[in-house]
Structures are given as C-alpha cells and as structure tokens.
C-alpha cells in the first residue's frame, strides 16, 4: 500500500494520497455507506482493510473515487487547505450534517504539510521525534490511525439508510490559489459553512507526519449519536 521509503517529496505525496484513500475507504466501509462489492480487500500487516474500487457498479462509490482524484489535483498544486467529507440526510440542505470527517492541509517550503486529525505524537525522553522521522515510525503511526478509526466506527450509532455524502474543499487564499480554480469534479460552493442540528462532538482520530507532509484527521458528530465512547480511548477537543 505504501512506499518502502519516504525520502523525497514525490514519495511523500504518493504516501499521503494512499493514506487519504485508505482513510476515506475505511470510513465509508465501516459506516456501511456502500455495498461490499464496491471494495477490494488489501492487507496492511495484520490489518484487513477495504479499499474503494476505481471501477465500480455503484454510482455513489465511483463518485467518491472521482472526488478523491480532484482532491489529489489540488494537493499536488498545494492549493488545498481542508477537505470535509460530510454525511447528511436532508437533500435540500447538504450543509446540515450528522457526521463529518475533516482532512486539513498545510504547506512549508519543503512541501505540503497535511493535517487529518491529531492521533499520535512520538516522544522519547520527553522530546518530540517529529524532526527525525523514520519510515518505520510513519508506518506504525498509520496503522495506529487506522486502528483508531476502527474503534471509533464501532462505537458510533448506526447510520440511517437514507443518508447522502458530500465533499467540500477549502483552499488557501487568492495569493496562493487562483480565484477561479476548481479541481476536476468540483464547482464553486454556495456556502462555506457546515452545521449540525444537535450538539457537535469533535474527536481527534490521528496524525501522520513525513519529512514533507503532516496528515491529521478529525471527526465531528452529534452528541446523541455517540453510543459507547470511552474517554480513555477517544480524545475529545
């Protein structure tokens, strides 16, 4: 699934794209969004994970794959700041969500730093190791992020059958991103805000960092949709 080494910006970009694809696929699979045949099975060490197929008979799954390709275009150009995958019920108001999954990106002189929610920081002798990251560290952190996604999905209330998905992209300002830029599969949105009918709860899921990127993941859901969340295992903002 991931490069054997991450020493260049291109290797890091490939890694980030695959990590995003794994995370989005795990979310949609574990939340029961698409049928089984929309996924293929892959293994990450002892983890069995499901990856969305690029060619699928399920229109919704194909749409998500195309959206991800649009995300990759914006990521390659260093325009993308935040990607939000939202779950909603009211077709007339897709900005009113019951769950959202946030992927946030930053950029440095070396390359993009990707924020997908904060899961893990490595510490040794009370010193952060982010300045000396190894490929083994990165892969171990990925596995922990995916495991925590599994735990979170198992403790969320089952979604209703009539939910829909939306994906929103937020870019850096006009000094970075051309004002008329939209990646393939996207159009300019009418509203840049999202909201929840109930009280929102924010859950930190994970963080992965390479020498060129940082990836974080955050989940937001309505408080009443939480079932068996244990404070010891799930950190809330």
User: Domain containing 180 — which CATH number?
Assistant: 3.30.900.10
In a domain, 4, yes or no: no
Neighbours of 11 (CB within 10 A): 18
Which candidate, 71, 84, 80, places its Cα nearest to that of 117? 84
The pLDDT of residue 72 is: 96
104 assigned to some structural domain: yes
For residues 13-36, give the mean pLDDT.
92
In-domain check, residue 36: yes
- Using the predicted structure, report yes or no on whether residue 137 has a pLDDT greater than 50: yes
Check whether 228 has a pLDDT greater than 60.
no
| Cα–Cα distance, 142 to 147 (Å, whole number) | 9
Classify strands 235-236 and 47-52 as parallel, antiparallel or unpaired: unpaired
Q: Quote the distance between the C-alpha of residue 58 and its chain's center.
A: 21
Can you give the pLDDT at residue 126? 38
Query: Taking residues 100-114, what's their average pLDDT?
Result: 70
How far apart are alpha carbons 115 and 172 in whole angstroms? 14
CA atoms within 13 A on the CB side of 74: 32
Q: Is the pLDDT of residue 171 over 60?
A: yes
Could you list the residue range(s) of the whole structural domain that residue 229 is in?
9-236
pLDDT, average across residues 142-164: 88
Structural domain contains residue 3 = no
Mean pLDDT of 62-68: 96
Question: Is the model's pLDDT at 234 over the cut of 70?
Answer: no
Domain total in the chain:
1
Better pLDDT: 104 or 58:
58
Give pLDDT, residue 129.
Answer: 40
Higher-pLDDT residue of 79, 126 = 79
Identify the three-state secondary structure at position 46: coil
pLDDT of residue 121: 38
């Amino acid at each position: 699934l991931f490069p054997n080494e991450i020493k260049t910006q291109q290797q890091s970009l490939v890694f980030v794209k695959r990590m995003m694809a794994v995370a989005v696929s795990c979310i949609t699979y574990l939340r029961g969004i698409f049928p089984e045949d929309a996924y293929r099975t892959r293994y990450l060490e002892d983890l069995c994970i499901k990856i969305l197929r690029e060619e699928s008979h399920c229109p919704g799954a194909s749409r998500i794959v195309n959206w991800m390709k649009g995300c990759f275009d914006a990521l390659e150009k260093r325009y993308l700041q935040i990607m939000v995958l939202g779950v909603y019920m009211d077709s007339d108001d897709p900005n009113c969500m019951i769950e959202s999954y946030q992927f946030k990106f930053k950029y440095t002189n070396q390359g993009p730093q990707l924020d997908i929610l904060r899961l893990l920081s490595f510490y040794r002798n009370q010193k952060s190791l982010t300045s000396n990251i190894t490929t083994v560290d990165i892969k171990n952190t990925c596995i922990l992020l995916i495991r925590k996604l599994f735990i979170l999905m198992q403790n969320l209330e089952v979604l209703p059958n009539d939910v829909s998905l939306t994906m929103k992209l937020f870019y850096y300002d006009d000094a970075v991103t051309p004002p008329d830029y939209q990646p393939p599969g996207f159009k300019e949105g009418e509203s840049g805000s999202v909201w929840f009918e109930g009280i929102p709860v924010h859950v930190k899921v994970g963080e992965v960092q390479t020498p060129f990127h940082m990836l974080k993941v955050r989940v937001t859901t309505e408080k009443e949709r939480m079932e068996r969340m244990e404070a010891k295992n799930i950190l809330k903002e």
